[in-house]
A and B are shown apart, each in its own frame.
Chain A
Amino acid sequence: MTEYTTNNRFSSFSFIIPALVIFAVFYLYPFFYSFALSLYEGDGISTMRFVGLNNYKTALCLDREWWRSMYNGAFITFLALTLQNILAFALALGVNKTVRTNKIYCTVFFILPVLSEIIIGLLMREILKSDPGVFNQILGKIGLGGFASNWLEGEKTALLTTALVHCWRGFGWAFVIILAGLQTIPEQLYEAARIDGANAWHKFTKITIPLLMPVLSLVFILTILGTMQVFTMILALTRGAGGLTEVPVMRIYNHLRGGRLIGYACTEGVVLGVILIAVSFVTLYISKQMRKHYGVLPN
């Protein structure tokens, strides 16, 4: 009996060994190694000087540029959470009703997330250039020339433009996930509600939103994680626009690139990672509370 159990356990365990090894080697080890490096100063080629938590003190208390990049990332994330996801949700609701053509819409909307971020960035840069920018010329032709602006370098426009391009690119995948979630809601529930006299608003707030809450929280978490780590599109679009559109990952990349700030770059990476983990947990907690509120989860 004992031999059978051990054998059985070993067999079961062997199935997860590859995943465990990959997780440990490619996720856990780099994280802890980054943390270890964040306590040092130097380039990692000859000597590394132990500086304790000095890098953390600099990043958290002294480095205004770091917090500015965090603000930029948070601003883009805020627009992605609201504008991008509301648009995706609205489109998914609309497409969910058009059963015959929804595959066409899915394909069309999903083209953008499939395209490389670099391509999107370069393409939009050509369109949004101030002179002879395609977008500014279109504005002129339709009588809105007064709105023509320096979209990529203006103090008030650069970050907003970057955020909108990011949302434009990203709404497709949120749309697909939300649509998939909508299609799992049984039609009978809507039918029963209709018989009970529920109007469209009641059906939306009492059936669609509560049952979609797990999907929405997934979309929210993925949006936060994905947007706070956006980098390549911005690199191609503005190259940071002198710090106006610099985001945390771009800053980490720039510090790693020189080689001499490897410890500080790791510190920034750890700080960003911890903040994202904390935000993810908060989002999960809120989502759980909302599901309890709507009665999807027991209190």
Chain B
Amino acid sequence: MRFYSKIICLIVVSVLFVSGCGKKPEQQNKLVVWHWLNDRKDALDQLAEKYTEQTGIEVEFKLFFPPDIYAQKVIAAARAGNLPDIFGILAEKLTIASFVQAGHIPNLLPYMNADYGRWKNSFYPQTLDVVSFQENNTYGAPAGIYGVPIDTAIMQFVYNKALFKKSGIDPDTPPTTINEFINYANVIRKDSHVYGFTCGWGESWMLNCLVTEWAINVMGEEKFLKTISGEIPYTDEEWIEVFSLFEKLRRSGILAPNVTALYNKESEDSFARGKAAFSFNGSWSVNVYRQLNPSLDYAFFPLPAVSTKHPVKVWGGGGSSFMVNAKSPRKEKAINFLKWITAQQQQKFLAKETNNLPAIRLSKEDLPEMLQTTIDDLGKSTHPNVWPHNEDSRVIEALNKGLQQVVMGIKTAQQIAKEIQEVNIRVSK
């Protein structure tokens, strides 16, 4: 008898245990948004409250930080079929294509085109390009728009105006060529005992942005894209010229010490405290610098050119975009919320509160002062998500590591070009 009662107890406990693992009942009037925007948390929460007041629909912004961890969480949730109503994908375009192919995110084109394309036309086209797939794209995704940009970003150089003045350099004429850039950095470094240039090159994607901009300037976008599609090797002379720029930077002595181990946050901190003359950062840094040092006197400027043969392109257009969970029972509500958050009033609020470039066209007066000139450069932006192909992540890894080693003085431009090409050949097999 005792034996059977034990078995019954075990079954009861197991049933209770398993029933505890069930899903909580869904709330029809609550939208859950996963995001990684640490510096925009308060503004987003305020918008969520406002939306609840206006519509009665509760919106919960759940922050996951740092972005690396957030990116993995979203991919893991997709694999487990556990995505929230709204989320962002922090990954290359191939991964966005996988989300589309798996049916996790719906095509928003019909919603964007409704009302004579009013919603679609409100955006800067570059911001939509990064979340769109064209017909017959190489990613194999059906054509459409799969995300809603809520802001945009541009990678540019920044300089400390106060340090310029101290060295007697006109603070309104930033360098336009690489040689000028190195000269200015060296003068300021010696005069003010600061670093010439700091950047978060411990995060290799920062290196990748810069090398991409210089590569496009040196060889032109067409040849650059031909390298990605495998038609031109990384051992090409112009690629070696691009890699040599990093040797030149190292030899010039302007780089902050241990720059290849710096996180971008550390580099931002260093620049905000006036410890470096120049940095390379995204337009989001306006908000970061304001928080770190409100009195910092600085400005943005485009890439110091290496060549005059090809125009300078800036890495940009891709900002923060949100996707809708296609399997969410609140899909329509989620789309309506994204429509609302990208409306003019909310975008003005976000631009003002977070000092980020808006995703939709606003008049210059509505933009943060620091970024009023920067928005003009959006026209010359480029981004991996708008290229017809993405480079294999193993090649990018080899390229980023190689550049780190060049900056550290361990390898030459020729050596890393050869190594990158070896990886390129291996993965293309």
Contacts and interface: CB of A to CB of B under 8 A. Distances in A.
Nearest to B393: A258
Interface in B377-429: 393-394, 397-398, 401-405, 407-408, 410, 426
B393 A239 contact: no
Highest count of chain B CB atoms <10 Å: which of A7, A152, A241:
A241
B3 interface: yes
Given A242-B405, A260-B92, A260-B393, A7 B261 contact: no
B3 A257 contact: no
Contacts of B408: 153-155, 241-242, 244
A30 interface: no
Interface in A213-262: 237-244, 254, 256-261
Interface string B95-134: 1011101101000000000000000000000000000000
B24 interface: no
A46 B397 contact: no
Contact of B95 (A3, A6, A131, A259): A259
Nearest to B404: A242
Contacts of B91: 258-259
Contact of A130 (B92, B258, B407): B258
A279 to B, nearest CB: 27
A107 interface: no
A44 to B, nearest CB: 5
B354 to A, nearest CB: 26
Contacts of A10: 3, 6
Contact of B75 (A3, A133, A237, A259): A259
B202 interface: yes
Interface string A38-58: 000011111100000000001
A190 to B, nearest CB: 50
Contacts of B294: none
Contacts of A198: none
A243 B406 CA distance: 12
Interface string A125-147: 10001110100000000000000
Nearest to A43: B98
Nearest to B72: A257
A60 interface: no
A43 B91 CA distance: 11
A82 interface: no
Contacts of A44: 75, 79
A45 B258 contact: no
Give the one of B6, B260, B403 with max A CB within 10 A.
B260
B6 A43 contact: no
Contacts of A125: 258, 261
B232 interface: no
B10 A152 contact: no
A265 to B, nearest CB: 11
A260 B139 CA distance: 13
Contacts of B101: 45-47
Given A43-B98, A259-B95, A129 B72 contact: no
B369 interface: no
A62 interface: yes
Contacts of B393: 258, 260-261
A199 interface: no
B2 interface: yes
Contacts of B92: 258, 260
B257 A131 contact: yes
Nearest to B256: A131
Given A14-B10, A153-B408, A254 B99 contact: no
Nearest to B400: A242
Contacts of B191: none
A239 B260 contact: yes
B288 interface: no
B257 A260 contact: no
Given A3-B3, A45-B78, A45-B98, A256 B401 contact: no
A149 to B, nearest CB: 12
A43 B260 contact: no
B68 interface: yes
A6 B260 contact: no
A10 B3 CA distance: 9
A72 B105 CA distance: 42
Closest 10 CB pairs of A and B: A242-B404, A46-B101, A131-B257, A45-B98, A46-B102, A239-B202, A46-B98, A242-B405, A130-B257, A153-B408
Given A45-B99, A237-B261, 14 more contacts: A7-B3, A43-B75, A43-B94, A44-B75, A125-B261, A154-B408, A155-B408, A238-B261, A242-B401, A256-B72, A257-B68, A257-B71, A258-B91, A261-B394
Interface of B: 2-3, 6, 10, 68, 71-72, 75, 78-79, 91-92, 94-95, 97-99, 101-102, 104, 202, 257-258, 260-261, 263, 393-394, 397-398, 401-405, 407-408, 410, 426
9 contacts: A14-B6, A45-B79, A239-B261, A241-B261, A243-B401, A243-B404, A258-B393, A260-B94, A260-B95
